[in-house]
Amino acid sequence: MPMKIIFTCGGTAGHGNPALALAGLVKDRKPDSEILFVGANRGIEQRLIKNAGWKFQAIEISSFHRSLRPSEVKHNIISMRNLFSSANEAKALLKKFPADLVVGTGGYASYPMIRAAATKGIPTAIHESNAIPGLTTRMLEDYSNLIMVGFEECRRNYKNPSKVIVTGTPVRGDFFRLSKREAKIRLKMDDGRPLIVSFWGSLGAEEMNRQMAEFIAMEARAQPFHHVHGAGTIGYAHMTGHLRDAGVDISRIACLDVREYIDDMGTLMRAADLVICRAGASTISELTALGVPAIIVPSPNVVHNHQEHNAKVLANAGGAVMILEKACSGQLLYRTACSILHDQHRRQSMSLAMADLGVIDAADNIYNAVMDLLRRQSV
């Protein structure tokens, strides 16, 4: 009989991408496998997974908010009701799709499926991309046979370290199709000037885009670097205003490129000599896999401050400089970038430190780990 696997995830692309990478590998190596994705009916995962061509089943589940405002209390009451109803939905789904294995890759939507599978004796595994486990991962630790993490120092954050193995976090294949030099040639940025790639997320961040406009204004006077900045869907309109206020006409400066969205991220990250960014789990995995030095300004607006913990892993290893947003400015970002890019020894040292943390074969590691779990549970 073909093997049946449920992947469950939700909330962000950082939770969905590891599941997609593993599902693709399973299908390549075991073509007769049956794969089903399960997530929230209003989450980003539904669009992400359906666009990738996989079967998707939605369940009624929602997050909890940490606020006592009346609207948030009402939301949490609805979420509590959804939590109970989703447990029944998960059990019913396992009857229709009797899985041999359930793999969660983070986000509140994975909770009911992992718990329902564990109560039925179905092998369960979790992959946690962040350095500090999220609330869902912590709640599911007792229900999981296996927990997979990105870095060795993450292991200490779990009460059952014997369950935890280091696999890394998968990075999309298009990040490795070109060599660094090939990527620079394709981008027509092979004139010897270093390339900076900067972004604050798909939606952008108003304050950080304002600081980046200040950064670009200083850059425009000297033009020492190539620089591509992704301002984000919401941030782009504000960014153009910030640049105008700073007296910068970006259309007249060929080496500076401000975009709403970076759609060739794999090529740009491969070519980059320095990345300036937040500290989301997917970004951290990409930086380490490629060995790219970084200036990281972790978002202060995330649960459990997990981006700062992610950034500290890289900064403590010597691969990145971490600047907290409350202490950040366009001038500080620019001075820090110049100090890295004008110091060849420092740049090489940071690149090596970053690469030492990277796990290029993370998808293989995760595949081997879950297949080994299946073999052990079937004995």
Provide the edge-to-edge strand list for the sheet that holds 164-166: 56-59, 34-40, 4-8, 101-104, 124-128, 146-149, 164-166
CATH number for 109 = 3.40.50.2000
Q: Are residues 213 and 308 in the same domain?
A: yes
Position 73 confidence tier, pLDDT thresholds 50, 70, 90: very low
- Asked if the model's pLDDT at residue 13 lies above 80, the reply is no
Q: Are residues 209 and 331 in the same domain?
A: yes
Average pLDDT, the chain: 88
- Asked if the model's pLDDT at residue 121 lies above 60, the reply is yes
Q: Are residues 28 and 128 in the same domain?
A: yes
Q: Are residues 235 and 327 in the same domain?
A: yes
pLDDT digits (tens, 9 = 90+) for 233-267: 888 888 888 898 888 888 889 999 999 988 899 99
Q: Are residues 217 and 352 in the same domain?
A: yes
pTM: 0.82
CA distance readout (Å), 332 to 90, 281, 308, 338: 50, 24, 18, 10
pLDDT digits (tens, 9 = 90+) for 96-107: 999 999 999 887
> Are residues 367 and 25 in contact, defined by beta-carbon separation less than 8 angstroms?
yes
Q: Are residues 162 and 187 in the same domain?
A: no
Strand-strand pairing, 226-230 and 195-199 = parallel
Q: Which residues contact 21 (CB under 8 A, 6 or more apart)?
A: 170, 171, 172, 362, 363, 366
Q: Are residues 207 and 295 in the same domain?
A: yes
pLDDT at 64: 47
Number of domains in the chain: 2
Domain that holds residue 157: 4-171+360-378
Q: Are residues 165 and 37 in the same domain?
A: yes
- Asked if the model's pLDDT at residue 77 lies above 50, the reply is no
